[in-house]
Chains A and B, each alone.
Chain A
Amino acid sequence: MNETTLNLLSGIVRNATPLVIAAIGETITERAGVVNLSLNGSIILAAMTGFVVALLTNVIWFGVLAAMLVGGLVALIIAAADIELKQDQVAVGFVLTLLCADMAEFLGRDYIGERGPSIANTPIPGLAQVPVLGPIFFDHDWTVYLSYVLVFGTWYWLFRTSPGMAHRAIGERPEAAYARGTRVNARRYLYTVIGGMLVGLAGAAYSLKLRLGWSAQPSMDGDGWIALAIVIFGGWHPFRVLLGAYLFAGLRTLSSAIQRSDIDFPITLLNALPWLLMILTLVLVSSGTLERLTRVLPGPAQRRLRAFLRSDPPAALGTRFEPN
Chain B
Amino acid sequence: MNIELKGIHKRFGPVHANNDINLKFGEGRIVGILGENGAGKSTLMKILSGFQPADEGEIWIDGQPVNYHGPQAAIAHGIGMLQQDPLDVGAFTVLENFMYGSNDGFIPNRNQARKTLQQYTRRFGFELNPSTPINELSIAQRQQLEIVRLLALGVKAMILDEPTTGISAEQKTMLFDALRELATNDGMIVLLVSHKLEDVIALCNEVAVLRGGRIVGERQMPATAQELVTMMFGEAIKPQTRAVVDLRKAKPVLSLQNVSISDGRLHVDDFSLTLRAGEVIGFAGLDGSGQEMMMRTMAGLHVLDSGQIRVHDRGLLRAGYREFAEAGVTYCAAGRTEEGLIAGLTLTEHMALVQDNNVRIDWGKARATMDKQIQRYDVRGRATDPIEALSGGNQQRVLMALIPEKPIVMVLDNPTRGLDVDSARWIWQQLLERRNVGTGIVFGSPDLDELVAYSDRIFVFYAGRVTEVPDVRQTNVDELGHMIGGHFEEATHAVQPA
CB–CB under 8 A between A and B in the complex?
Answer: yes
Decide if A160 is an interface residue (CB 8 Å cutoff).
yes
Of residues 102 through 132 on chain B, the ones whose CB sits less than 8 Å from some CB of chain A are: 103-108
Using a CB-CB cutoff of 8 Å, which residues 123-168 of chain A contact chain B?
Answer: 160-163, 165-166, 168
Residues in B whose Cβ lies below 8 Å from that of A169: 89, 92, 100
- Which residue from B51, B52, B89, B99 sits with its C-beta under 8 Å from A176? B89
Asked if B1 is at the interface of the complex by the 8 Å CB criterion, the answer is no
Interchain CA distance A314-B72 in the complex, whole Å: 23
A165 to B105, CA, bound (A): 12
Judge whether B288 is part of the interface by a CB distance below 8 angstroms: no
**Cβ contact within 8 Å between A172 and B89:** yes
Q: Kindly list chain B residues whose C-beta atoms are within 8 Å of the C-beta of A181.
A: 70-73, 101, 103
Q: In the complex the two chains form, what is the Cα distance from A165 to B100 in whole Å?
A: 7
Q: Could you mark each residue 64-92 of chain B with 1 if its beta carbon is under 8 Å from any beta carbon of chain A, else 0? A: 00000011110000000000000111111
Instruction: Assess whether B96 is interfacial by the CB under 8 Å rule.
Output: yes
Q: In the complex, what distance in Å separates the CA atom of A173 from the CA atom of B135?
A: 12
When chains A and B are docked, how far (Å) is the Cα of A161 from the Cα of B52? 29
Interface size on B, residues (CB 8 A): 22
* Chain A residues whose CB sits within 8 angstroms of the CB of B103 once the complex forms: 162, 181
A176 CA / B81 CA spacing, docked (Å):
12
- Complex: A74 Cα to B73 Cα, angstroms: 35
Chain A residue numbers with a CB within 8 Å of B71 are 178-181
The chain B residue sitting closest to A177, CB to CB, is B89
- In A159-209, the 8 Å CB interface with B consists of 160-163, 165-166, 168-169, 172-173, 175-182
A161 with B90: CB separation less than 8 A: no
Whether, in the assembled complex, A264 has its beta carbon less than 8 Å from a beta carbon of chain B, the answer is: no
Contact of B87 among A166, A168, A176 (CB under 8 A): A176
The reply to whether B52 and A324 form a contact with Cβ atoms under 8 Å apart is yes
B100 x A166 contact (CB < 8 A): yes
A322 at the interface (CB under 8 A from B): no
Is B105 in contact with A173, judged by CB distance below 8 angstroms? no
Query: What CA separation (Å) do A315 and B71 show in the bound complex?
Result: 22
Q: Which of B72, B89, B107 contacts A160 (CB 8 A)?
A: B107
Q: Which of chain B's residues have a CB closer than 8 A to the CB of A84?
A: none
Which residues of B sit under 8 angstroms from A315, Cβ to Cβ? 90-91
Secondary structure of the A side of the interface? helix
Q: Are B104 and A162 in contact (CB under 8 A)?
A: yes
Residues of A within 8 A of B106 (CB): 161-163
- Residue of A whose beta carbon sits closest to that of B101: A180
Task: Report the minimal beta-carbon distance from B135 to chain A, rounded to whole angstroms.
Answer: 9
Closest-by-CB residue of B relative to A236 is B91
Residue of A nearest to B97 (CB): A176
Nearest B residue (CB) for A180: B101
Residues of A contacting B105 in the complex (Cβ-Cβ under 8 angstroms): 162
- CA–CA, A8 to B8, complex, Å? 72
| Chain B residues with CB below 8 A from A324, complex form | 51-52
In-complex Cβ contact of A168 among B73, B91, B99 (8 A): B91
A262 at the interface (CB under 8 A from B): no
Docked CA distance A319–B88 (Å): 17
A169 CA to B70 CA in the complex, in Å? 17
A113 to chain B, nearest CB (A): 48
Does A3 reach chain B (CB closer than 8 Å)?
Answer: no
What separation, in Å, do the CA atoms of A182 and B103 have in the docked complex?
A: 11
Q: Could you say which residues of chain A place their CB within 8 Å of the CB of B89? A: 168-169, 172-173, 176-177
A177: chain B residues within 8 A (beta carbon): 89
Given A162-B103, A162-B107, A181-B72, the answer on whether A175 and B92 have CB atoms closer than 8 Å is: no
* Contact yes or no, B90 A173, CB < 8 A: yes
Q: Are A179 and B92 in touch, CB under 8 angstroms?
A: no
Q: For residue B46, which residue of chain A has the nearest CB?
A: A324
* Residue among B52, B72, B89, B103 having the largest count of chain A Cβ atoms under 10 Å: B89
Please determine whether B91 and A180 come into contact, CB atoms closer than 8 angstroms: no
Q: Judge whether B107 and A176 touch: CB under 8 Å.
A: no
User: Given B51, B72, B96, which contacts A165 in the complex, CB threshold below 8 Å?
Assistant: B96
How far is it, in angstroms, between the C-alpha of A168 and the C-alpha of B92 when the chains are bound?
A: 9
Cβ–Cβ < 8 Å partners of A178 in chain B: 70-71
Q: Cβ of B99: which chain A residues have Cβ within 8 Å of it?
A: 162, 165
When C-beta atoms are compared, the residue in chain A nearest to B73 turns out to be: A181
Q: How far, in whole Å, are A315 and B88 apart by their CA atoms in the complex?
A: 12
Roughly how many angstroms separate A180 CA and B108 CA in the complex, as a whole number?
15
- State whether A180 touches B107 (Cβ < 8 A): no
* Least distance between A172 CB and chain B CB atoms (Å): 5
The interface centre, meaning the residue of A177, A178, A179, A312 with most chain B CB atoms within 10 A of its CB, is A179
Cα–Cα distance between A162 and B96 once the two chains are bound (Å): 9
CB of B72 within 8 A of CB of A180, answer yes
Residues of B within 8 A of A166 (CB): 100
- Minimum distance in angstroms from A195 CB to a CB of chain B: 19
When distances are taken between beta carbons in the complex, the residues of chain B under 8 Å from A180 are 71-72, 100-101
Cα distance A178–B75 when bound, in Å?
13
- Chain B residue with minimal CB distance to A169? B89
A168 to chain B: which residues have CB within 8 Å?
A: 89, 91-92
Nearest Cβ distance between residue A154 and chain B, in whole angstroms? 15
Contact A172 B51 (CB under 8 A): no
Q: Most A CB atoms within 10 A — which of B87, B90, B91, B108? A: B91
Complex CA gap A43/B424 in Å reads: 55
Q: Note all chain A residues with C-beta closer than 8 A to B104.
A: 162
- Sorted nearest first, the 4 A-B pairs with minimum C-beta distance are A181-B72, A180-B101, A176-B87, A179-B71
24 contacts between A and B (CB under 8 A): A160-B107, A161-B108, A162-B99, A162-B104, A162-B105, A165-B108, A166-B100, A168-B89, A168-B91, A169-B89, A169-B92, A172-B92, A173-B87, A173-B88, A176-B87, A176-B88, A179-B101, A180-B100, A181-B71, A181-B72, A181-B101, A181-B103, A315-B91, A324-B51
Query: Hey, which bits of chain A sit against chain B, CB under 8 A?
Result: 160-163, 165-166, 168-169, 172-173, 175-182, 312, 314-315, 324
Q: Supply 12 further A-B pairs (C-beta < 8 A) apart from A172-B92, A180-B71.
A: A161-B108, A162-B100, A165-B99, A166-B100, A173-B90, A175-B87, A177-B89, A181-B71, A181-B103, A314-B91, A315-B90, A315-B91
